[in-house]
Structure 1
Amino acid sequence: MDILLQVWLLVLLSFPTMVVSQSGTNVTSLITHLFTTKNYNKKVRPLTNQTEAVHIDIGFVLNAIIAFDEREESLKTAGYLELQWRDEYLKWDPDQYDNIYKLFLPQEDIWKPDLSLRNTYKTFTGLGSSYLNVEVDNTGLVYWIPFQVLESTCAVDTSYFPFDVQTCTLKFTAWSYSMTELEIHKSIDGVRLEDYVENSSWGITETYASETTTDEAVVYFIFKLKRKSGFYIINIIIPVVLLSVLSVLTFILPVSSGEKASYAVTVFLSLALFMTIVTSELPKNSENTSLLAVYMMVVSIWSTLIVTLCLVESRIYTRDEKSVPINAFFMALVKSKSFFTCQKCAKSVKPEVCSKTSIQPYDSEEPPNNWRMVVDAMDFVFFWISFIVIFVCTLVLGIMAINVS
């Protein structure tokens, strides 16, 4: 037992001695051996058998979504790639160099794949910078971690704005090599988010990576971004819904007040203003139409119809039934109001129903011929038609928003 303990102590004491024995001279000798003695050439693919393909594993660590411009359809992200491959010309025996197992070399001094972002938005640039290093171990395994600020294109679908989910892709490819010369494989982790800083406007719902099986060496990093819609709900959707309710309430205002038409026009102008705000948030050349924009268009069209009806009612209100008889259409409106408000309840089998209304019944079969009564009937009928139209449109918008969410 004592002998085993002594051996173990000797191992512990000898290990730090081996580490301390490494010096700058050892590193210099190793670098001279690799780059001068062995005449390393970074222009040659790192394989002794040049008929084989270099295998590269690539992963992506996302740091932040800097900006997502839906109008320009561009995504700006910050993160770093994790690349790994084996360079057969950068091998050495650690025992010959005092147990040096790894080196840090400038990335410009060794061969590296000419990977770049293919779906770039503005400028086409390579990965990494001249001041970054790569890590190389004694088996020739190279680790390259270039940090990048990437600006990529991203097709935008605004159908469910502001409850939309956008799918954006970072497409990395090697421009100079085919699959027979260089194979790119996604890493097991794909896209990692341990360093991700949450964006105030967009949340990430899903990330994954994929690779092609064609003649082109390409790896895709896909992000599914969900818009945070709280700002739009409070500042756009709720005001628009309230304005649509106000447009319906136009028919409660009597024509005799003289403010009915001006009130309807004011509501219409407010809706037009909000349509301008929503339009400014949407892409310039969107192939899809937002449901919110459709909803606002329907409300605006209906508001235009309400303004027209208010002007017609103002004209009808001043008519004299003796000089301008009431035609069948307007009589149908009056009878419709009479039916739904139970104005003939004096002859109804259930007169107690009419007791709940404030309208006095009349005994005649036909309602009195009065243009003011026609206007009242128009207000009643069009109020409930407008209410149903706005309610159904708002309900459909809400259901679609819930389903997307």
Structure 2
Amino acid sequence: MDSLFVTVLFLLTVLPANVSTESGTDVNTLLTQLFTTNNYNKKIRPLTDQTQAVQISMDFFLNAIIDFDEQDESLKTSGYLSFIWIDEYLEWDPALHNSPTEIFIPQDDIWKPDVSLRNAFKSFTGLGSSYLNVRVTSDGLVWWNPFQVLQSTCAVDITYFPFDKQKCELKFTAWSYSKAEVEINMGSRGVELEDYIENSAWKLVDTSARETNTEEAAVYFTLTLKRKSGFYIINVIIPVVLLSVLSVFTFILPITSGERASYAVTVFLALAVFLTIIADELPKNSENTSILAIYLMLVSSWSTLIVVLCLVESRLAIRDENRTPINFVFMAFVKVADFFTCKKCKKSVSPKEFSPKSSLRKGLDVEKSVTWIQVVNSMDFIFFWTSFIFTFVCTVILGALAVNGAK
């Protein structure tokens, strides 16, 4: 029992005195050695052999897509970059003077690559801030993780709007150095999405990273975004299609009601309003034309033609067939309409009942019995189905092109 007590007393008193601990004095001594005794100079590249290139590994940890402005063709993202390199002037032996194995140093106190976003949208600034620290280990390994809100340029292709995909690149380059002096390599992670927050308007469908093969030290991070089209389908596409259908049904409204022209003009103005809304959503350039804009222009042009036809028909409806005979052009509308409406109900005429004189006389009597109102009704029938087929074909073809082309 006495021997056990002596052993415990020995462990509590003697052993702790031999345990190695790091104190603030030890860290201060190490910093004095590195920056004062060794005369560290942050203006010198961190290599003892200055003919070699500093090898820097770079990854991008994307946090969020803040905004994608198609008008200005700019992409605003947030996240942080991870840089790793070896600084040979920041190496030490932890066994000497009870030194720590790693320390934290303000980023402006050591050498770091002047990496910047090359395709910045507004201002060209460096990364990080003076209050950020870098992490340095005893073997000279440096970790620098500057958090940034990046606003870059991004060329927008609006051909398949609102089912479009956009590919945006963020180009980071060591501005003052060539590839022979500083070589930026793509890290093992590339674009990391472990902290990514989904955007409400855009879906991130793919990411990639690549290095340049030129003399320039640069790395490209590519983000492929797909627009979430639900908002535009509900608030733009469906109303436009419904308005185009209403434009077709102009010819259902009787010419004698006196409301047809005003109805056609109202539908045309509604389409013009939606064309203005779409124009405000798209970037003002002439490199690409949206299929939706083409569809709106076709529908608006056809709606304009419908307004003109309604005005012409209103003029024809008040004519007197006794004072203004119906010529063969307008009779053609009547015959075509009769052909499509009464083709199945026509009775076959037997050879005995047929004679050229009776047929000619019957045709003349029919022409005399046709009124201008009947001509207008026949025109309505032809124009209705022509407009319906035109609108249907344009909607199906251009809609298929927009949806499948984006894929």
TM-score (norm 2): 0.89
Query: Structure 1 residues 261 and 210 mapped into 2: Cα distance closer, same or farther (>3 Å)?
Result: same
Q: Report the alpha carbon displacement of residue 99 of structure 1 after superposing the two structures with TM.
A: 5.6
The whole-number CA distance in structure 1 between the counterparts of 2:137 and 2:316 is 92
Deviations 1:2-58 (A, max 9, x none): xxxxxxxx9xxx89975x611111111111111111111100000000000001110
Establish whether residue 243 from structure 1 lines up as the match of residue 243 from structure 2.
yes
Helix, strand or coil for the counterpart of 1:59?
A: strand
Residue 402 of structure 1 aligns with which residue?
Answer: 403
Q: CA RMSD in A?
A: 2.1
Residue 8 of structure 2 aligns with which residue?
Answer: none
Paired-residue identity, %: 64
**What amino acid sits opposite 1:86 in the alignment?**
I
The whole-number CA distance in structure 2 between the counterparts of 1:15 and 1:141 is 32
The whole-number CA distance in structure 2 between the counterparts of 1:22 and 1:217 is 40
Establish whether residue 174 from structure 1 lines up as the match of residue 174 from structure 2.
yes
Is the radius of gyration larger for structure 1 or structure 2? 2
Q: Report the alpha carbon displacement of residue 80 of structure 1 after superposing the two structures with TM.
A: 0.4
Q: Report the alpha carbon displacement of residue 328 of structure 1 after superposing the two structures with TM.
A: 2.2
**What amino acid sits opposite 1:385 in the alignment?**
T
Helix, strand or coil for the counterpart of 2:244?
A: helix
Segment of structure 1 superposing worse, 185-194 or 42-51? 185-194
Deviations 1:230-276 (A, max 9, x none): 11111111111000000000000110011111110110011111111
Kept after mapping to 2: 8 A contact 1:338/1:344: no
Deviations 1:342-388 (A, max 9, x none): 26734249xxxxxxxxxxxxx95556432111111100001011001
Residue 382 of structure 2 aligns with which residue?
Answer: 381
Residue 289 of structure 1 aligns with which residue?
Answer: 289
**What amino acid sits opposite 2:262 in the alignment?**
S
Helix, strand or coil for the counterpart of 1:232?
A: helix
The whole-number CA distance in structure 1 between the counterparts of 2:18 and 2:201 is 55
Q: Report the alpha carbon displacement of residue 228 of structure 1 after superposing the two structures with TM.
A: 1.1
**What amino acid sits opposite 1:391 in the alignment?**
F
Residue 44 of structure 1 aligns with which residue?
Answer: 44
Kept after mapping to 1: 8 A contact 2:160/2:403: no
The count of aligned residue pairs is 380
Q: Report the alpha carbon displacement of residue 325 of structure 1 after superposing the two structures with TM.
A: 2.1
Kept after mapping to 1: 8 A contact 2:78/2:150: yes
Q: Report the alpha carbon displacement of residue 76 of structure 1 after superposing the two structures with TM.
A: 1.0
Helix, strand or coil for the counterpart of 1:152?
A: strand
Residue 201 of structure 2 aligns with which residue?
Answer: 201
Residue 108 of structure 2 aligns with which residue?
Answer: 108
Residue 7 of structure 1 aligns with which residue?
Answer: none
TM-score (norm 1): 0.90
The whole-number CA distance in structure 2 between the counterparts of 1:37 and 1:215 is 37
Structure 1: 4+ residue segments shifted above 6 A? 14-17
**What amino acid sits opposite 1:60 in the alignment?**
F
Deviations 1:111-143 (A, max 9, x none): 000000111111111000000000111111100
Give the unaligned 5+ runs of structure 1.
1-9, 350-362
Query: Structure 1 residues 42 and 343 mapped into 2: Cα distance closer, same or farther (>3 Å)?
Result: same
Matches for 1:4-403 after TM superposition, within 5 Å: 18=19, 21-98=21-98, 100-342=100-342, 345-348=345-348, 364=362, 368-403=369-404
**What amino acid sits opposite 1:381 in the alignment?**
I
Kept after mapping to 1: 8 A contact 2:291/2:402: no
Q: Report the alpha carbon displacement of residue 188 of structure 1 after superposing the two structures with TM.
A: 1.6
The whole-number CA distance in structure 2 between the counterparts of 1:262 and 1:222 is 52
**What amino acid sits opposite 2:118 in the alignment?**
R
**What amino acid sits opposite 2:370 in the alignment?**
N
Kept after mapping to 1: 8 A contact 2:74/2:151: yes
